[in-house]
Amino acid sequence: MTNRTPEQPSTERPTSKLPVGDHPAPEKVYENLENLGEVDVAQGATYRKDAVDVLADADVSVEMRTAIADRLGQEDHLLSLKNVDPEESY
């Protein structure tokens, strides 16, 4: 750690507990969200986690994060309309 007086601004970049950029390419995440209805629950959960990771990555363009957020919102809405069998937990 660098010794500095209170008057000196920090030049250190804030760190995150999660590794930033540790996700598939944003374009692939966007594409995967389109296929959520065609994959099993476990794969769908992975796709959703990847989408959330991209949304948290400030290095991804605002336009791409917005597109992913919109698509994820649409898929969440479709999931909320789905009838679930009593034996399903998702």
- Cβ burial of 64 (10 Å; 0-12, 13-18, 19+) is middle
Q: Residue 51 domain-assigned?
A: yes
Rounded mean pLDDT for each run of 10 residues along the chain, 90 residues in total? 50 42 90 92 94 95 96 90 70
What does the block give as tokens for 90? 């998702």
Domain that holds residue 61: 26-81
Buried b (16+ CB within 10 A) or exposed e, 21-57: eebbebeebbebbeebeeeeeeebeebbebbebbbeb
Does any domain span residue 75?
yes
Task: Name the pTM for this structure.
Answer: 0.68
Indicate whether 53 belongs to any domain: yes
Within-domain flag for 60: yes
Which pLDDT score is estimated for 27?
95
Count of domains forming the chain: 1
